[in-house]
């Protein structure tokens, strides 16, 4: 299967019209600042689902990767998927919890960094480093994070040959645990860079460097190639399709639905990669009635989905209790635009967004978008209330998961079973959880974690507890104007 450019081709030799999967993940930025998307999608309808009803997660994942006809050796695919064996339960890396008769939570945070990014980045790290070895090339991997991509990228690439990682995060824009997960990493091939600014600043810097001929030329002098660990890289997205399909099959296996029944999928959205995985699953045949997209006070995506306008001309990022969603410019919306409207229209819309911080869909285009999505926003007061309510029902959820309950309450047009994608473990946001459930947050995350653990009778994972005894190894904190200079100094 070929991958093509979301904004069309600029005729430059380094931007071929179509590329293989390996090329798309090694060089993820395409013509006109666009990204890569599949030229077509495989059919994974009812016959595929029936065939994999008894498949375990790794078997399902391999079948989906092979359906995309990716140009990666099966032995490397097997090695990549074997990393799921190191999750909490090797037999079930993404357990499905039933909260109410029609409400389920797909827990995607049982990997090494306790967030859903492990589901994609653990195997992705194996694929990319294997390609680097095969090509006898050195790679710099850039990552920008609102809290979870960074720790997961650093974890998967640490000490890997032929790969170095520069990870940018907004100082003050992550939880303390997320920050500790990054700044305590001490592998020689990792560089963590705190910046004064927001995630949008970090992401803009990442995309600028990925598209910069001058930066690439400087790297070429050092014989270093450039790639990214963010979801602008389709190597991330392909793994984010799988767990949505797995959750549906779990409902069938547990006799909650009959094969072919439609469900709702509720997704907390920041950079829209998780939602894009669900969208592609629908387009490939998964019976999802609609995607319920939750936002927080940074609700530009709600405005786009419900009103057809992407507009942040008069907006700035608002800090909330769900910080991974504190984003205004969501990169993966571009792939939805491309799939629905084609490259020419996508280039036009994205240029307007880049230049004016605004675009508006036509009525016909908006109607197409609404076939797949509906959205609502959830403010901090509501988020705290949902955490409290479900804690009293015996379930501890993080603030991003809690925002999905708002869409469950307000966006369903039919009485269908609903799966919420839970993107992070409660341990990563302990101060918020403590406030919500009425325990002392104390002097910081560690005291809050212990108090929650005692009240909820739930164990703190070793990966989290150990963070507080690790020395700080990464101390760089800079203005965003100094990012390129800092990365080159690291190299």
Note the pLDDT tens digit of each residue in 139-197.
Answer: 999 999 988 899 999 999 999 999 999 999 999 888 889 999 999 999 999 999 999 98
Among the listed residues 367, 361, 381, 377, the one whose alpha carbon sits nearest the alpha carbon of residue 411: 377
pLDDT at 203: 86
Backbone angles phi, psi at 402, to 5 degrees: -60, -35
pLDDT at 199: 87
As a whole number of angstroms, the distance between CA 440 and CA 452 comes to 9
Mean pLDDT on 299-311: 97
As a whole number of angstroms, the distance between CA 215 and CA 219 comes to 6
* Rounded percentage of the chain residues whose pLDDT exceeds 70: 100
According to DSSP, the residues that pair with 36 across neighbouring strands are 5
376-to-211, 300, 305 alpha-carbon distances in Å: 33, 10, 9
Among the listed residues 164, 144, 150, the one whose alpha carbon sits nearest the alpha carbon of residue 205: 144
**pTM listed for this prediction:** 0.95
* Residue 316: exposure state from Cβ atoms within 10 A (0-12, 13-18, ≥19): exposed
Mean pLDDT on 336-358: 97
Average pLDDT, the chain: 95
Exposure b/e, 185-203, CB count within 10 A at least 16 = b: beeebbbbbbbebbbbbbb
Residue 356 predicted with pLDDT over 90: yes
Kindly list the domain boundaries of the chain, sorted by start residue.
92-115+235-458
Residue 59 predicted with pLDDT over 90: yes
Mean pLDDT on 99-125: 97
For strands 418-422 and 103-107, give the pairing: parallel
The count of other CB atoms within 10 Å of the CB of residue 406 is 23
Which residue blocks in 284-429 are alpha helix, DSSP H? 300-307, 333-341, 343-356, 363-370, 380-392, 399-410
As a whole number of angstroms, the distance between CA 287 and CA 388 comes to 32
Q: Contact at 8 Å (CB) between 97 and 107? A: yes
As a whole number of angstroms, the distance between CA 292 and CA 264 comes to 7
Exposure b/e, 474-488, CB count within 10 A at least 16 = b: bebebebeebbebbe
Whose structure tokens read 């209330």?
Answer: 385
Per-residue pLDDT of 401-454, as tens digits, reads: 999 999 999 999 999 999 999 999 999 999 999 999 999 987 789 999 999 999
Local structure of residue 89 (DSSP, 8 states): -
pLDDT at 340: 98
User: Three-class SS of residue 299?
Assistant: coil
Mean pLDDT on 100-126: 96
Quickly state the pLDDT bin for 470 (edges 50, 70, 90): very high
According to DSSP, the residues that pair with 375 across neighbouring strands are 293
Which residue blocks in 106-198 are alpha helix, DSSP H? 117-135, 149-157, 176-183
pLDDT at 173: 87
* Rounded percentage of the chain residues whose pLDDT exceeds 90: 90
Per-residue pLDDT of 19-47, as tens digits, reads: 999 999 999 999 999 999 999 999 999 99
Mean pLDDT on 42-61: 97
More confident residue, 444 or 345: 345
Quickly state the pLDDT bin for 5 (edges 50, 70, 90): very high
Among the listed residues 326, 14, 93, the one whose alpha carbon sits nearest the alpha carbon of residue 197: 326
Quickly state the pLDDT bin for 13 (edges 50, 70, 90): confident
pLDDT at 10: 93
For strands 36-38 and 3-5, give the pairing: antiparallel
Backbone angles phi, psi at 191, to 5 degrees: -135, 120
Quickly state the pLDDT bin for 14 (edges 50, 70, 90): confident
Q: Contact at 8 Å (CB) between 442 and 407? A: no
Residue 233 predicted with pLDDT over 90: yes
pLDDT at 393: 95
Quickly state the pLDDT bin for 278 (edges 50, 70, 90): very high
Q: Which two tokens stand for residue 360?
A: 């508006």
pLDDT at 391: 97
Whether domain 92-115+235-458 has CATH 3.40.50.2000: the reply is no
Q: Which two tokens stand for residue 2?
A: 């070929």
Backbone angles phi, psi at 299, to 5 degrees: -105, 35
Would you list the DSSP string of 44-82? -SHHHHHHTTT--HHHHHHHHHHHTT-SS-HHHHHHHHG
pLDDT at 443: 78
């Amino acid at each position: 299967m070929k991958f093509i450019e979301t904004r069309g081709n600029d005729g430059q030799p380094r931007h071929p019209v179509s590329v293989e999967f390996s090329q798309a993940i090694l060089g993820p930025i395409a013509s006109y600042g666009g990204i890569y998307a599949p030229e077509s999608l495989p059919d994974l309808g009812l016959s595929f689902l029936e065939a994999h009803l008894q498949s375990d997660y790794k078997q399902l994942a391999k079948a989906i990767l092979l359906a995309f006809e990716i140009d990666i050796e099966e032995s490397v695919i097997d090695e990549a998927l074997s990393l799921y064996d190191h999750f909490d339960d090797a037999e079930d890396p993404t357990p499905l919890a039933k909260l109410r008769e029609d409400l389920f939570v797909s827990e995607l945070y049982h990997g090494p960094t306790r967030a859903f990014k492990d589901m994609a980045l653990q195997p992705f790290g194996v694929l990319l480093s294997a390609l680097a070895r095969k090509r006898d090339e050195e790679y710099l991997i850039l990552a920008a994070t609102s809290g979870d991509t960074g720790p997961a990228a650093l974890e998967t690439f640490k000490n890997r040959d032929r790969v170095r990682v520069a990870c940018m995060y907004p100082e003050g824009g992550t939880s303390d645990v997320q920050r500790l997960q990054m700044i305590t990493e001490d592998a020689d091939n990792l560089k963590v860079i705190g910046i004064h600014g927001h995630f949008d600043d970090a992401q803009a810097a990442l995309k600028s460097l990925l598209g910069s001929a001058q930066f690439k030329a400087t790297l070429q002098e050092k014989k270093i190639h450039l790639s990214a660990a963010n979801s602008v890289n389709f190597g991330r997205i392909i793994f984010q399709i799988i767990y949505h399909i797995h959750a549906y099959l779990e409902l069938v296996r547990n006799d909650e639905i009959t094969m072919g029944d439609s469900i709702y999928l509720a997704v907390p959205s920041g950079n829209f990669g998780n939602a894009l995985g669900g969208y592609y699953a629908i387009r490939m045949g998964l019976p999802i009635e609609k995607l319920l997209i939750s936002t927080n006070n940074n609700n530009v995506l709600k405005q786009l989905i419900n009103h057809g306008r992407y507009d942040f001309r008069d907006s700035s990022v608002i800090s909330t209790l769900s910080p991974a969603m504190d984003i205004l410019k969501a990169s993966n919306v571009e792939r939805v635009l491309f799939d629905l409207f084609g490259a020419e229209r996508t280039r036009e819309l994205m240029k307007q967004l880049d230049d004016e911080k605004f675009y508006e869909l036509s009525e016909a285009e908006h109607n197409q978008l609404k076939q797949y999505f509906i959205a609502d926003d959830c403010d901090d007061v509501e988020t705290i209330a949902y955490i409290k309510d479900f804690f009293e029902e015996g379930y501890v959820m993080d603030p991003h998961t809690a925002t999905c309950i708002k869409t469950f309450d307000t966006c369903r047009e039919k009485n269908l079973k609903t799966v919420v994608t839970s993107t992070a473990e409660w341990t990563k946001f302990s101060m918020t959880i403590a406030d919500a459930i009425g325990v002392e947050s104390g002097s910081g995350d560690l005291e809050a974690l212990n108090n929650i653990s005692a009240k909820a009778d739930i164990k703190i994972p070793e990966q989290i507890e150990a963070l507080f005894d690790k020395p700080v190894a990464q101390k760089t904190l800079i203005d965003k104007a100094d990012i390129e200079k800092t990365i080159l100094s690291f190299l």
